[in-house]
Every structure is written in structure tokens, then in C-alpha cells.
Amino acid sequence: MKLLSIVFILLMGSVFAQTKMSPELLWKLSRVGGNEISPDGKTVLFGVTNYNLKVNKGNRNLYTIPVEGGTPRQLTKYSGSEFNETWHPNGEKIGFLSAESGQVQMYELTVETGKITQVTNFENGLNGFKYSPKGDKILFIQDVKLDQTINEKYKDLDQANVHVFDDLMYRHWNSWHDYAYSHVFYAVKDGDQYVLKGDIMKGERYDTPMNPFGGMEQINWGPNGETIYYTCKKMTGKDYATSTNSAIYRYNLSSRKTENLTEGMKGYDMNPTFSNDGKYMSFLSMEEDGFESDKNDIVVMNLSTSEKQNLTKDIDITVSDYVWSEKGDKIYFEAVINATNQFFELDVKTKKHKQLTDGRHNYTSIALAGDYLVGTRQSMMEPNELYKVSLKSGKQEALTSFNDNILSKLDKVSIEKRMVKTTDGKDMLTWVIYPPNFDKNKKYPTILYCQGGPQSAVSQFFSFRWNFHLMAAQGYIIVAPNRRGLPGFGQKWNDDISGDWGGQPMDDYLSAIDDVSKESYVDKENLGCIGASYGGYSVYYLAGIHEKRFKCFISHCGLFNLESWYGSTEELFFANKDIGGHYWGKDRAPSYDKHSPHNLVDKWDTPMLVIHGEKDFRVPVTQGMEAFQAAQLKGIPSKFLYFPEEGHWVLNPQNGLVWHREFFSWLDQWLKK
């Protein structure tokens, strides 16, 4: 009897034992995305991606769940991933894209029976689609080859592998120009198939959606289904590289004419949507040409008079996404405020707004479902799950819980919201993340986290790379300051970084780590500093000014030499705005002398891990090579982690595991001696 009791206790202990977060567990978490609401407002359509480390890839399946709550219903079980899931306007079918047949085509699933039918057979497939208001047509995007390859130009040299360019933008983010352009097409339903009717951008050497991150949100049907509205930056080469002046265009299917609806508006204009009564078009708009992180406003255009109103001009918030109310009297939007992403309500007539949600979390999407807002929500400790928010009470309720089986067993970490005084007397919100079972009587190695962007908030994001729970689980305290140059604290705080990369933002970083280091539980002799992109730049810069604070550094895809970076990056509007322009002649921008980390190498003396991907064209791999070579020549302990097939991010599952193993190996080597 005693033996049975002991066995029972041991078994129960194994069931309820907590687990340490690990890189392998991160890849086991389900990734929930999408929140398409059925026409009757009662059901949410979404996707869930799961990764298999052994086969080194992921698979995305589609699900629905009632807005009132319940058990998710799995709709697809294909071996490949399904995406671009969309409700048919009649609510009886769901359209989606899949490469199940070997090429990406469109499929329709009958909701009642689950029957799936392939409804397109387009040559070259399609990359995205949207139903017309009646569902009798679709618009879709497809790559159209318009330029000659070298083998087509010199037909006798079929083995030549050469590219010839005579203008800029020959490569972008992670891919070289491939002689093709993304165009918008439309097709008409005939029986159970959609039949191609036309390319509304025929012959144009422009891309819609815009590269590299644009999606179907940039294209929409007009209210009557006889017009198509789309976002495009109709520029090429140098002009494209130095401008953010995109526009909203309207194409009429009958007249086949295209008109620019935002002529004279100089910044990004994108994502056309419509009020339910069809009277107004709305879109997101930035005012300044060349500033990719300018304030994002909601602009509404009267389709009868063409009169435009900026509804959020006087609100010191930058909008991420939004949706109209049923009556058209309100707009609900999502935006970052004080290092969290929340829902807001905007009165269209009075332009007054109020915050609807609060808490330590980020809403990452927004949709309207009757009396609820529905969106994906995450925090530093939890990946995306679907939530609903009552418009009447403000109550926030989880609809899905795909990751509870893993998260519930993890050792808990705690997060402190700490206000740090900066060198110029400002209050800076800084997150401090503590290890599981934190004991203030012990001392912990501590890491300063430097955010990228540079205009990207240190909010309640859940990262599958820079995961604060994972770092804390390895026994580290993490200090994550919302330094100068981040949104959510007013536009001035966001803008203050431009032209001052190595100035006040660096002081902000040091203020944060110095403030937290005063605590008795921080091991001041074992501080590390990490970051990616601008955060990687920050690491290189701090390595030259830290005055022995840190024992090691890790820089992922960081900018090292601003002159050579300006000469090899692609989106020059970013460099022109944030660095101040080019590096030659009388107009040489001061940043090259004042803020380039390579000018501080003579002061480097601390071990450094450099990480870079070959296909990173925003911050080319040579930036990492230059930094690593400098450290090696100075005799500084250093390592170069190089990913031939990765770009600005590490997306391959097994590569991701290597990244984490090398990352923590380096930290442990220098901070846990």
C-alpha cells in the first residue's frame, strides 16, 4: 500500500511539475492568425500554424469558432498550408488558397458539408484574392514577367548566369529583382469555376501589393463591385528607392480607366476600405514623403464629392489597423499606447476618441462581429490567441486556447513596469523581466535588450526569436527600455531619433541599465547587451562607449558602417530620413561622423557575437562581416554566426534552433563564469 502511494505521488508530481521554457518548446507552440468574421457576424474564421522540427517546416490549417464561444472546428487537413482564408458574401462558403495541387490555386469549402472544390486553374497560379460584394467575381494578384533575362537577350548563351541593371531597386529586403511584377487581375464566376477576364495593370512595371510586406489589405472592391481600388507606388528605380509616396487608385471595369484618388498627398496612402452604406472610402495615410514611420492617420473620402477629412489628425496616436461600425458613425482602431497595443473607438462626426481596452497585452488585429470586436491578442508571456471585446461592457474574453497545454506547465516569470529618468529629465517606460522563482536575495546576470526598427515599440509582443520568457527561463534578468524613437508615447518621442541615432537613444539605454543595476539582485559584474537591426547597431555603438559596463555583446543584422551601409542598402528613403542623407561632398550628413559605430572600434574591448543572414538586403551581410573582422583584428574574443539562406529574420525552424543555442551559449560563456 505504501509503495502504491509513493508511485501515485511520483506520478502526480510528474503531471503537475513545471517546465522550463526552451527553444524547442517555442517551436511547439501553435501560431494563431486571422480573424475573418462571417457575414452574419456569428463566426470567426482563422488559421493555426504548427511546425515540425524533424521535417523542418510548418503547416497551416483553417478553423472556425463561434463568436459566442465554443470548440474550434478544424476545416482543412491538407499536407500543405492554407492561407488567404475569406468568407464568401453569402456566408455558405469559405474561399482559400493552397498549393495542394502543386501550384497555388483557389478553393472553396462548403461550410455545412465540409466539401472542398478547386475553383481556379490559372496559369502561374495566384498569390491572393478577394470576393466582390456579390461573390460573382474575384480580384486576385499574380506575378507577370515583363523584363528579359540575360538568356532571352542573348539566346546563344543559354548557360550564362548574369544580371544587368541600369537603375536602383534591383534587390529588395531579401530577394533580387526577378523580371516580374505583381499585378491585379479580375475573374468572373462561371459554374463552379472563376474565368479570367483581365489584368487591370497590363504592361505596368509596378507592384501591387507593395513590396515587401503588403498584402490583400492594400486592394479592395468598390461598394458596387464594378470598381477596384488598389495601393501602388508607381515609381521605379531611384525614384522608388527615395520615396514613400504611394497612392490609392480606382479602376473602372467598364471604362477600363484608372484614376489616382490621392494625388498631391506625399506620404504612404494605403489600405482602402468602405463604410457599409458605400458613401465613404477610408484609408491609412502618412503626411511626409520619405518617412516610413510617420504618424499613420485615418483619412475618409466622400465618394460623391471627393472631399477628404483626416479624422485622427489631432490625436497624438499612430493607427495600425481599423474597422467601420455597422452604422458608419464610428470607427474602431488599434494602436500602440504606453508600450501596449489597444483598441480605441472614434466618433466619425465629432472626431473624439476613447480607449476601449487596457492591460499588459497587444492586440495585433481587429474585426467587428456584432456587439464585439474580435482580434488576436498576445503578451510577452503568451503567443497570439483569439479574443473578443464587448462594445457594451469592455469585457475581454479568450475565444481560443491552443497553447494552454504548454503554457500552463511553464515556470512563471514576472514583469515589472519601471519608469526610468533619462539624462534629459524624461520618464522612460522600461520593462524588467525576472527569472522564474526570482529571489531578490540572489544575484542574477542581467541583459540590456536594444530594440530594432528603430521606430518599433517595446510593447507586449511575443517573439519566437527575441523571447523574453525564454531568456528569463535561462536565469537572466532582461531590461527592455522604450528608448527615444519608439511610437506609443507621442509623435515627438517617436521622431526624436531621426538624425540622432547615436545620441539621446544611447543615453536612454545606459540610463535604463544603470537604474536597474542599482538593485542588489543585479550582478553588475555580469551584464550583457543584445539587439537586432537598429538594436544591432546599438550594440555596436554601445561597445565603444559603455565604459566597462558590459561583459559581452550580441548583434544580429546590425548596421556597423553607415557609409558602406548607405552604399548597399535598398530603401534609401529610410537612410535619407534617419541618417540625414548621403555621405559625400559639402552636403555630407553629420551622422556619418557622429553616429557610425565603425568610428568607435578603437574603443572596443568586449567579447562579441555577430549574427547575419546572406539574404538581408536592408542591412547587407557585409555589415556583420566588417564588424566581426574588426573584432578579430583587435584580438577581441568574437564569433560570426552566418545564415546563407536567411534574410533580416531567421525563419527556418532548425536554423532557429541553431540561433538560440549559439545565442545562449555565448551569454552563458561570458555571464555565468
Query: In terms of residues, how long is the chain?
Result: 673
Q: How far apart are CA 72 and CA 77, in angstroms?
A: 14
Which neighbouring-strand residues pair with 367?
A: 374
Residue 667: helix, strand or coil by DSSP?
Answer: helix
Residue 421: helix, strand or coil by DSSP?
Answer: strand
pLDDT confidence bin for 634, thresholds 50/70/90: very high
Residue 309: helix, strand or coil by DSSP?
Answer: strand
Residue 611 reports pLDDT greater than 50: yes
- Pick from 451, 417, 422, 450: which is nearest to 434 by CA? 417
- Tell me the pLDDT tens digit for each residue of 138-188: 999 999 999 999 999 999 999 999 999 999 999 999 999 999 999 999 999
Q: How far apart are CA 535 and CA 452, in angstroms?
A: 4
Q: How far apart are CA 477 and CA 267, in angstroms?
A: 40
Q: Which CATH architecture has domain 412-671?
A: 3-Layer(aba) Sandwich (3.40)
Residue 415: helix, strand or coil by DSSP?
Answer: strand
Q: How far apart are CA 398 and CA 575, in angstroms?
A: 41
Q: How far apart are CA 315 and CA 61, in angstroms?
A: 39
Residue 234 reports pLDDT greater than 90: yes
Pairing of strands 382-390, 367-369: unpaired
DSSP, residue by residue, 53-71: TTTTEEEEEEEEEETT---
C-alpha cell recorded at residue 607: 567579447
Distance from the Cα of residue 537 to its chain's centroid:
19
State the burial class of residue 449 (Cβ atoms within 10 Å of its Cβ: 0-12, 13-18, 19+).
buried
Which long-range contacts does 56-65 make (Cβ < 8 Å, 24+ apart)? 56/652, 56/653, 56/654, 57/653, 58/31, 58/653, 62/94, 62/96, 62/109, 64/38, 64/111, 65/386, 65/399, 65/400
Residue 391 reports pLDDT greater than 70: yes
Residue 337 reports pLDDT greater than 90: yes
Q: How far apart are CA 562 and CA 510, in angstroms?
A: 22
Write down the residue that cell numbers 552604399 correspond to: 567
Confidence (pLDDT) at 673: 78
DSSP, residue by residue, 478-516: EEEE--TT-TTS-HHHHHTTTT-TTSHHHHHHHHHHHHH
> Which residues, other chains included, contact 635 with Cβ-Cβ below 8 Å and sequence gap of 6+?
none
Q: How far apart are CA 465 and CA 558, in angstroms?
A: 15
- Tell me the pLDDT tens digit for each residue of 493-513: 999 999 999 999 999 999 999
Instruction: State the average pLDDT for the chain.
Output: 95
Contact 333, 319 (CB under 8 A): yes
C-alpha cell recorded at residue 323: 474597422
Backbone phi and psi for residue 251, each to the nearest 5 degrees, phi listed first? -110, 130
Confidence (pLDDT) at 11: 36
State the burial class of residue 462 (Cβ atoms within 10 Å of its Cβ: 0-12, 13-18, 19+).
buried
Residue percentage of the chain with pLDDT more than 90: 96
Confidence (pLDDT) at 102: 87
Beta strands in 312-450 (DSSP E): 319-324, 330-337, 340-347, 353-355, 362-363, 367-369, 372-379, 382-390, 396-398, 414-421, 427-434, 444-450
Contact 627, 531 (CB under 8 A): no
Please give the average per-residue pLDDT across 514-537, as a whole number. Answer: 98
- Pick from 619, 629, 642: which is nearest to 598 by CA? 629
Angle at 73 between CA 68 and CA 74, to 5 degrees: 150
- Tell me the whole-structure pTM to 2 decimals: 0.95
Cis peptide before 89 (omega within 30 of 0): no
pLDDT confidence bin for 17, thresholds 50/70/90: low
> Which residues, other chains included, contact 242 with Cβ-Cβ below 8 Å and sequence gap of 6+?
290, 572, 573, 576
Residue 109 reports pLDDT greater than 60: yes
Give the amino acid at 309. Answer: Q
Active site (catalytic) residues:
533, 616, 648
- Tell me the pLDDT tens digit for each residue of 547-568: 999 999 999 999 999 999 999 9
Please give the average per-residue pLDDT across 259-274, as a whole number. Answer: 98
Confidence (pLDDT) at 236: 96
Residue 5 reports pLDDT greater than 50: no
Give the amino acid at 663. Answer: F
Residue 366: helix, strand or coil by DSSP?
Answer: coil
Q: Is the dihedral of CA 614, 617, 620, 624 positive or negative?
A: negative
Q: How far is CA 154 from CA 148, 151, 176, 178, in A?
A: 10, 5, 20, 17
Q: How far apart are CA 348 and CA 489, in angstroms?
A: 24
Contact 344, 351 (CB under 8 A): no
Confidence (pLDDT) at 100: 86
- Tell me the pLDDT tens digit for each residue of 392-415: 999 999 999 999 999 999 999 999
